[in-house]
């Protein structure tokens, strides 16, 4: 026993040290949250603004545990605030002396904000949502003087926008001075780790040449999830490092490059499993011998190459694979798939280069483009926002509730912001409501037990710290932080702190009940008109992709929109719900791959085979007759096989046959999907 005591002591000490180390970041965040709110109050008091609580609430909203996310969110919140203020001034000018018309206009504005917010992603979506509920916040003041001189409305809008901007800037200043940030380093590390894992798996696929198609499926599934998670990481890194904003197109192409490699990896694995023979293994081994052996590094670690060096190695491997002489169409398909995979990895490595070594990055022309995966979800969110804001406005008019305008404001917040959670929107709204109940309890304790004894600004800060520090600590540590986020943000408007603090119990409970009622009304609205379920969203994404594929197959000449085929496919893949089955993701990837091969077939076939034969095969595909399409593609393959195979003409012939083989393979594997009648 005596010998064991030092071990136990060391173990307990180590546990204590580890616990303190784990608790330090959440505690620092809680202190930053407290400092941000106090600084916003100080500036608002110094400027003698009418509602400093909105400054403090905004500071709490903007403050995030991650510096890059906070700064990015702050910049977009500034944009959304300005747009919302302009919108409310326009509404007030259009509906002078017309309260009902103003409320209808407000409901339409909230609906438009909800629609645009659903189309966008990450903090851009937050800015669009903010433009809606900022207008609702300003409406709580503007509804009184609507019909008076427009100058009064402009002044009110300016004052509220100024209060909100003070909160944004206060949080930004505190965070920038107290957190150096690591979002760029984390993005580089994740890009390097993802690229390494994909290169290893993609290379092993050709080395092992296994007849088991599902051997790498769990790995591909996990990698796909991590690729999708890159999007918010990129946004956070841009917020922390402004130079990355000018390379957003490169970063977007890097993500699509990783998805492209995942797609061709799956196609190559399918072809290897289908041709499990000596010739197939020789072709796979020949491809493996060309692939680069180096792996990327996000820093100067030993044993790894710089991203720019490996990017050039991937491009060289792609050129070698394109030039190699394949004996059969199957080998040509493997070589072309590997070449496309190398090009996708080169794009990913170029994005990594842009993060860690911008001087060696190859610039990309154009900007990051927005592709709408499905128009129905934003339409549903817009309709819900319009109906809920309109309904609660009618209730306010009918009941003449003094705090009804505050209920309208928080209802707008719920129905605009929380639908971005997708199918979790209703449960998120209930969690938010529970957090606001806790906020009401915290606010009541402060208003009736602590704030009456406050006589100076330092004592006010200490009183606020009693609530903000524990809530901020729990927010940073929670796995599902929405509950503590709602509590830490919403107790501030319930306090209604002004330069001259008054303690009116009736007013406090009226405001608290109005906030809770507005949130509850928004939650009920999402229960009555819920977002699309994951199964419905998945089904629609697959159906929309199939419709676009059939349109593509029917067109004898490519259109400008066809050039975005891959980008639209990537957008729909990113929009796939997390609950989607692996086979459903595979079907979407297969449809995108078939579309790319169709465009290549259209470009190459006029010089080699009659256009009528290609049109007949693609028409059968467009009409959902995959069996007939495969037969007609086999007829085309026989025609192409009879052509001369000497020199460069032979490479063109084999490449065309490889494309035909790729289309036939995907149609065979997913025949029920490609034959779907889309009723």
Distance of CA 191 to the CA centre of its chain: 16
Task: Please give the Cα distance from 616 to 612 (Å, whole number).
Answer: 6
Please compute the mean of the pLDDT values over residues 111-123 and round it to a whole number: 83
pLDDT of residue 385: 92
Lowest mean pLDDT, pick from 42-46, 71-75, 142-146, 262-266: 142-146
What residues form DSSP beta bridges with 305? 296
Tokens read off for 388: 């809920």
pLDDT of residue 212: 61
420/411: higher pLDDT = 411
**Angle between the 150-178 and 52-62 helix axes, to the nearest 10 degrees?**
40
pLDDT of residue 610: 76
Quick check: 254 pLDDT over 90?
Answer: no
218/108: higher pLDDT = 108
pLDDT of residue 246: 67
Write the pLDDT tens digit of every residue in 340-376: 889 989 998 998 888 888 878 888 765 556 678 889 9
Quick check: 532 pLDDT over 60?
Answer: yes
For residues 345 and 195, the answer to whether their CB atoms sit within 8 Å is: yes
Q: Which helix (H) or strand (E) holds 102?
A: helix 99-119
pLDDT of residue 438: 93
25/519: higher pLDDT = 519
Lowest mean pLDDT, pick from 107-111, 151-155, 531-535: 151-155
Task: Please give the Cα distance from 266 to 259 (Å, whole number).
Answer: 11
pTM beyond 0.85, yes or no: no
Task: Please give the Cα distance from 4 to 413 (Å, whole number).
Answer: 58
Task: Please give the Cα distance from 24 to 19 (Å, whole number).
Answer: 9
Please compute the mean of the pLDDT values over residues 596-613 and round it to a whole number: 79
Please, is 97 exposed, middle or buried when counting C-beta atoms within 10 Å of its C-beta (0-12, 13-18, 19+)? exposed
- Dihedral, 361, 365, 367, 372 alpha carbons, nearest 10: -110
Tokens read off for 657: 């046959």
Confidence of residue 249 (pLDDT cuts 50, 70, 90): confident
Domain assignments of the chain as residue spans, ordered by start: 28-181+373-528, 215-360, 540-674
pLDDT of residue 503: 64
Please, is 8 exposed, middle or buried when counting C-beta atoms within 10 Å of its C-beta (0-12, 13-18, 19+)? exposed
Please compute the mean of the pLDDT values over residues 121-131 and round it to a whole number: 76
For residues 503 and 454, the answer to whether their CB atoms sit within 8 Å is: no
- 10 Å Cβ neighbour count for 532? 18
Task: Please give the Cα distance from 275 to 287 (Å, whole number).
Answer: 15
Task: Please give the Cα distance from 315 to 322 (Å, whole number).
Answer: 11
């Amino acid at each position: 026993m005596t010998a064991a005591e030092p071990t136990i002591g060391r173990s307990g000490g180590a546990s204590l040290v580890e616990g303190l180390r784990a608790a330090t970041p959440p505690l620092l965040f809680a202190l930053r949250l407290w400092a941000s709110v106090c600084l916003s109050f100080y500036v608002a008091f110094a400027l003698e603004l009418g509602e400093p609580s909105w400054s403090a609430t905004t500071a709490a909203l903007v403050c995030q545990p991650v510096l890059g996310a906070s700064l990015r969110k702050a910049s977009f919140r500034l944009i959304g605030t300005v747009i919302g203020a302009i919108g409310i001034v326009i509404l007030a000018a259009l509906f002078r002396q017309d309260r009902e018309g103003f409320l209808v206009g407000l409901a339409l504005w909230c609906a438009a904000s909800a629609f645009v917010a659903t189309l966008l992603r990450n903090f851009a979506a937050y800015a669009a949502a903010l433009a809606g509920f900022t207008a609702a916040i300003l409406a709580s003041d503007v509804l009184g003087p609507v019909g008076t001189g427009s100058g009064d409305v402009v002044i009110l809008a300016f004052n509220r926008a100024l209060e909100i901007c003070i909160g944004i800037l206060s949080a930004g200043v505190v965070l920038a001075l107290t957190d150096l940030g690591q979002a760029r380093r984390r993005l580089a590390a994740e890009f390097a780790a993802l690229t390494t894992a994909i290169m290893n798996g993609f290379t092993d696929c050709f080395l092992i040449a296994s007849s088991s198609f599902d051997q790498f499926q769990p790995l591909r599934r996990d990698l796909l999830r991590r690729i999708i998670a890159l999007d918010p990481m990129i946004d956070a890194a841009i917020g922390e490092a402004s130079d990355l904003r000018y390379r957003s197109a490169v970063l977007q192409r890097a993500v699509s490059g990783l998805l492209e490699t995942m797609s061709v990896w799956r196609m190559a694995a399918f072809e290897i499993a289908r041709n499990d023979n000596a010739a197939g293994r020789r072709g796979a081994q020949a491809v493996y011998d060309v692939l680069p052996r180096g792996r990327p590094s996000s820093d100067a670690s030993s044993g790894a190459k710089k991203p720019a060096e490996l990017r050039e190695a991937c491009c060289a491997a792609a050129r070698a694979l394109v030039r190699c002489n394949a004996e059969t169409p199957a080998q040509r398909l493997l070589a072309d798939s590997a070449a496309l995979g190398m090009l996708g990895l080169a794009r990913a490595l170029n994005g990594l280069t842009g993060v860690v070594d911008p001087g060696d990055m190859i610039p990309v022309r154009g900007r990051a483009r927005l592709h709408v995966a499905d128009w129905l979800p934003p339409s549903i969110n817009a309709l819900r926002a319009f109906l809920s804001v309109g309904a609660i406005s009618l209730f306010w008019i009918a009941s003449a509730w003094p705090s009804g305008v505050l209920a309208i404001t928080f209802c707008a917040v719920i129905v605009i912001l929380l639908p971005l959670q997708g199918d979790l929107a209703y449960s998120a709204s209930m969690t938010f409501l529970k957090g606001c109940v806790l906020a009401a309890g915290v606010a009541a304790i402060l208003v009736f037990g602590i704030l009456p004894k406050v006589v100076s600004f330092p004592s006010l800060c200490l009183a606020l710290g009693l609530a903000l520090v524990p809530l901020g600590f729990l927010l940073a540590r929670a796995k599902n932080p929405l509950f503590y986020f709602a509590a830490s943000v919403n107790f501030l408007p319930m306090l209604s702190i002004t330069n001259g603090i008054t303690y009116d119990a009736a007013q406090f409970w009226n405001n608290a009940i109005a906030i809770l009622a507005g949130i509850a009304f928004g939650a009920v609205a999402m229960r009555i008109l819920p977002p699309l379920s994951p199964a419905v969203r998945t089904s629609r994404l697959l159906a929309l992709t199939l419709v676009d594929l059939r349109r593509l197959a029917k067109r004898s000449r490519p259109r400008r929109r066809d050039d975005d085929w891959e980008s639209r496919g990537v957008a729909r893949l990113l929009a796939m719900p997390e609950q989607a089955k692996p086979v459903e993701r595979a079907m979407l990837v297969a449809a995108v791959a078939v579309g790319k091969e169709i465009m290549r077939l259209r470009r190459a076939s006029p010089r080699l085979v009659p256009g009528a034969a290609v049109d007949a095969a693609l028409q059968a595909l467009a009409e959902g007759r995959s069996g007939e399409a495969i037969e007609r593609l086999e007829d085309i393959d026989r025609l192409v096989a009879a052509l001369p195979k000497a020199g460069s003409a032979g490479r063109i012939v084999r490449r065309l046959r490889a494309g035909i083989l790729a289309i036939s393979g995907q149609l065979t594997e997913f025949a029920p999907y490609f034959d779907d009648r889309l009723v």
